[in-house]
Every structure is written in structure tokens, then in C-alpha cells.
Amino acid sequence: MKRPTSGSAFRATIKSGIALYNQGKYLDARKLFNSIVLILSSKKKLSEDDTEILSDAYYHLGLCYEKLNKPIEAINNFSSAIKYVPLDADAYYHRAVVYARLGLMPSAIDDYSLAIRNNPDYTEAYLDRGLLYFTINDFKSAIADATKGLEIPPLNAHFYILRAMSYEMLGMNSAETVSTNRSGANEQAIADCNETIKLSPNETTAYTIRGRCYAILGDTNQAMADFNKLVELEPESGDGYFYRGMLYARDGQLKQAIAEFRQSLKLKPRDATVMDFLARAEKELLIEAAVEEIEKAISEAKSEKKSLRDKQADEITDLRKEIEHLKDKLKLVLEIVRQRPEYSIPLPTRPETGIFKIPIRPDIIMPIPDRPKDSRG
């Protein structure tokens, strides 16, 4: 390959390398960009044009290494591009992307911020930095970046999604949001989802977030409608089934919840969250069934006890009635006994009237004495 020796030739080489890069031929593109670096970096004195071309070559080498999954080489080449052109917003942006992939969040945020400083309308930097803020739970900063991004035309629905996610998380985070503002945060998230759906009617993330917010606000019907739409748009994802199962479980409809969780698990067989909630629902259903059995047994025992108690009460009542009846009889008998003369010997009140007849046995009847004879004879 003939090496370029002029600025126009270098730029032509860069253009050819970009074409190869866009075709996915990263190794071939890297050779072209590297050839420029080797020539220009060996020069003792660089012109302003040389500096810009060298920076551009390093930048595109960084892109190639990024695609080839060589993050250290990518960072080094982006850093070299920045060294020659310190205001290169794109180099800062892509170095931030690599830092973020490596988990170096502070470095990534710094580079996104430098990219934005050098290009205040850098929407991708606002979006990626906002997502990074969201990842580290700095939801207020994420909302600020999303709001700024929405001010830059053309309107990007992803900023509504980012802001909706952030508001949703603020609504759930009791440490940052007092209860009086939680509903407001969820309502703002719903509003952003509505705007997203206007721009992109099949955006599943919007239905997911909006459905969750409706569920938090207690609007089960709206939440179910969004999760049904999610199942319709992504029948193979399993997420819609999972969220429908959550609604059923929350409302105590455990059999329906288990069916939804099982369907979700078929589509996401290794999802630990789905497995966990399925296990919970199945356990709760078993407990519920056991409780029903116990309650049924208790109810039957109470019913039987009541029946016995009622029976005993009836018997006691009958016995009491019988006792009262016997008492009445006893009273009557006592009254009769007290009034019958044969059971008492009345004393004579007037002896001259003769002897009262006393019921005595006949064998002891005293004989009547003979009448005395007349003495005059």
C-alpha cells in the first residue's frame, strides 16, 4: 500500500478507513488509520493540519479498538486524539462510553461532561450521562439531563423514557421522596410515558413503566391494560406475564398469578425473580388452602358443638319443665295431704256431744256397757 504524504491524501485514507469501518471491516480499517499515525507521529514538527489529521486517525483507531473489544487500546487512542485536539467532544464521548463499560463511572461521567462542555447540544452525551446517573441512583441528575435533552431538537423519545424511569424510582424511594410527593412522581412518570407513546406507539418500555406506576397508584385496571399491551407487543418476552402475575398476586388471586408466573418462566427459564415470586405464590396458595381446611374444621367443630349444646339445652329445658311439673304435682299432693282428716286425729271440742268416730281397726272396738237395772225393780 502506498502511504499518503499530503493532507489531502491522508484525508482520503481516513475516508477509505471510515468506509471499511462502516462495513464492519474493523481490522482493515485499523490498518489504514494506523498507517497515518505511523507517518505523522514520526514527524518532528506537525502543522496545524497534521495535528487535526493525526487526532482524527487516533480517534478512528479508538473506534476500531472499541468494536474489537479492546478497551484499553481504545482509551489510549481516544486519549491521544484529545492530546492533539483538546476540544474534541467526540473523543471525550467515546472514551466515556468505554469507561462506562469498564465500570469506571466517575471517569465516564467526567468525560461525558467534557463532551457536553465542548458541544452543549451533544444529545447522545446527555442521554448516556443521564442513564449513567440513573444506574448509580442519582435520579435527580438523570431527570436534569433528560429535561435538557428534550430541549434540543429533534425531539427524542428516549429522553422521556429516561425521565419516566427516574421519576418512577423517585416515587419508590422513600428516603428521597416524602409520601405526599410519591404520587406526584409517579404521575409525572405516567405523563412522560404518554408522550413517549405519542412519539413511538409500540415502545414497550413506556407501557412497562406506566403499568408499574398505575399499579403503585392503585389503578389496577389501567395497570392491567398496559401489561396486556406489553404481552401483545412482546409475547415472547415474559415480562408482561410476570407483571400481570404480580397484579393477580397482590389482589389475592393466587391461581391466576401462578399461571402467569409459570408462563413467564417458560419464556425466561432462568429468571430468578420470576422463580422467587412463583415460589411465593405457590407457598401462599398452600398456606391459604391449609388455612381454609383448618377454618372449615373449626367451623364444623363449632357447628357440632352448637348442635350438641342446643340438644343439651333442649334436654335441660325438657328436664326443667318436667321438674316444674313434678313440683306442681308435689305441691298439689302436699295440699291434699294437709286437708285429708284420716291423716290427722281431731280432738273433740264438745265432749257432751259424744265420741267422734275414729277410724280404728274393728277388732279393738270397745263393747258398749249394759244399761244399769232400775233399782225399784
Low-confidence ranges of the chain (pLDDT < 70): 1-7, 173-182, 305, 310, 327-377
- The per-residue pLDDT for range 250-293, each reduced to its tens digit, is 998 999 999 999 999 999 999 999 999 999 999 988 888 888 78
Q: What is the DSSP letter of 353?
A: G
- The whole-angstrom separation of Cα 124 and Cα 296 is 63
- Residues of 296-316 as b/e, b for ≥16 C-beta within 10 angstroms? eeeeeeeeeeeeeeeeeeeee
- The per-residue pLDDT for range 30-41, each reduced to its tens digit, is 999 999 999 998
The overall average pLDDT reported for the chain is 83
pLDDT score at 103: 95
- The whole-angstrom separation of Cα 146 and Cα 43 is 45
Task: Report CA-CA distances (Å) from 43 to 28, 34, 181, 190, 246.
Answer: 24, 15, 63, 59, 66
pTM for the whole structure:
0.73
